[in-house]
Amino acid sequence: MNTTDNIYQLAVAGVQSLIPYKGGKPIEELERELGLSHIVKLASNENPIGIGQKALAAIQKASADLALYPDGNGYRLKQALAAKYALDASQITLGNGSNEILELLARAFLTPKHEVIFSQHAFAVYPIVTQAVGAKAVVVPAVNYGHDLDAMLASVTEHTRLIFIANPNNPTGTLLSQADVKRFIAALPDTVICVLDEAYFEFVSGAALADSAVEAINSIDWLKLYPNLIITRTFSKAYGLAGLRVGYGLSSPQMADILNRVRQPFNNNALALAAAEAALDDIDHLQKTLQTNSQGMQQLTDGFKALGLEWIPSAGNFVSVDLKQPGQPIYEALLRKGVIVRPVGNYEMPNHLRISIGTQVENQTFLNALKDILADV
């Protein structure tokens, strides 16, 4: 055991063949590579209007106490979330991003004997957390880019322990109806845990408030009925705190207790806890965010229409456009023009690019660049 290659043989089986998550290209990296400035990043579904003033003020205040460990139980943030959702604080698990909740679920509930079901084109973290603990991923083909709940239900076996459903899904933006999701959960054996990933929940509930034809999400009501349900949400998207890493799970107190056993004692840092609590209170910032998103979605889809392109209707803060040709070269051409978007070939969508909704100016910069590139090929 003295060559560096051999160390790979020591890793657990799932990790030996694991392909790490690839995020959106950081702005600084593109600046270094191309010597460009004024880069537009529409690649990671971040909030284009940034962090809100209340969260920023809370960070400044909390920074005075950074020599102290944070509150390992996140008491204040849990109280605020419990009040917002009319739940008990014991039903809340805080994570270093909601990604951490997904990982805690895998660590707490999966062994190499177990199967995990998720959809084709679903969020890339599901296969990673599954494989890392050696469990078996069962990927169910999508229908029109959305989850096929009937087929997912039919894939349940005695080995199934976890099912991931992203609603809306990333990178497709597809949204399942509340009735369909509820029926699905109700039909699961109680030995199967359903993880309902609602990272984009706020965009749906904002749209539902603005337009009575849009259905509101009411999954929290189901927690009383199904102890095998956990809902995950995040401060990374609508609340503009992606850099701080705060997400949470809502579940039965028993499920939260289990996740709490495998959680690191101080998994949320002090600035993140303070900022998230303040952000929950910043209705103005959330409203501005939702308005920027709906206007930007209109602007981008109008632009696609003018270019003769189709897109997958999205309930999130991003939209995947069908270029009818490989997306990777277009992605690279956009980079050279200082626009970062997200290629989704690794999601089995090689002809699509996923565009996060930006500000009006950012969206226009992207559309102009795309138009120039498509005129050239």
Residues that bind ligand PLP in the complex, under the rule CB under 6 A: 45, 97-99, 123, 166, 170, 197, 199, 234, 236-237, 242, 247
Between 266 and 374, CB nearer to ligand PLP? 266
At its nearest, how many Å lie between ligand PLP and the CB of residue 243? 9
Between 199 and 312, CB nearer to ligand PLP? 199
Q: Using an 8 Å Cβ cutoff, are 202 and 286 in contact?
A: yes
Between 131 and 172, CB nearer to ligand PLP? 172
Between 54 and 237, CB nearer to ligand PLP? 237
Cβ atoms within 10 A of the Cβ of 39, count? 19
At its nearest, how many Å lie between ligand PLP and the CB of residue 199? 4
At its nearest, how many Å lie between ligand PLP and the CB of residue 191? 24
Q: Using an 8 Å Cβ cutoff, are 147 and 172 in contact?
A: no
Between 93 and 365, CB nearer to ligand PLP? 93
> Of the candidates 82, 87, 96, which has an alpha carbon nearest to the alpha carbon of residue 259?
96
Beta bridge partner(s), residue 310: 322
Beta strands in 227-359, from DSSP E residues, in sequence order: 229-234, 247-250, 310-312, 318-322, 339-340, 342-343, 352-356
CA distance 179 to 222: 11
**Neighbouring C-alpha atoms within 13 Å toward the C-beta of 24:** 21
At its nearest, how many Å lie between ligand PLP and the CB of residue 140? 16
Report which residue's Cβ sits closest to ligand PLP: 97
Residue with tokens 């609340």: 239
Between 130 and 236, CB nearer to ligand PLP? 236
Cβ atoms within 10 A of the Cβ of 293, count? 26
DSSP 92: E
CA distance 42 to 120: 23
Tell me how far apart the terminal alpha carbons of the chain are, to the nearest angstrom.
Answer: 52
At its nearest, how many Å lie between ligand PLP and the CB of residue 83? 21
At what angle are helices 98-109 and 253-262 packed, to 10 degrees? 90
At its nearest, how many Å lie between ligand PLP and the CB of residue 166? 4
> Of the candidates 291, 330, 292, 288, which has an alpha carbon nearest to the alpha carbon of residue 309?
330
Between 251 and 365, CB nearer to ligand PLP? 251
> Pairing relation of β-strands 339-340 and 40-41?
parallel
Between 276 and 373, CB nearer to ligand PLP? 276
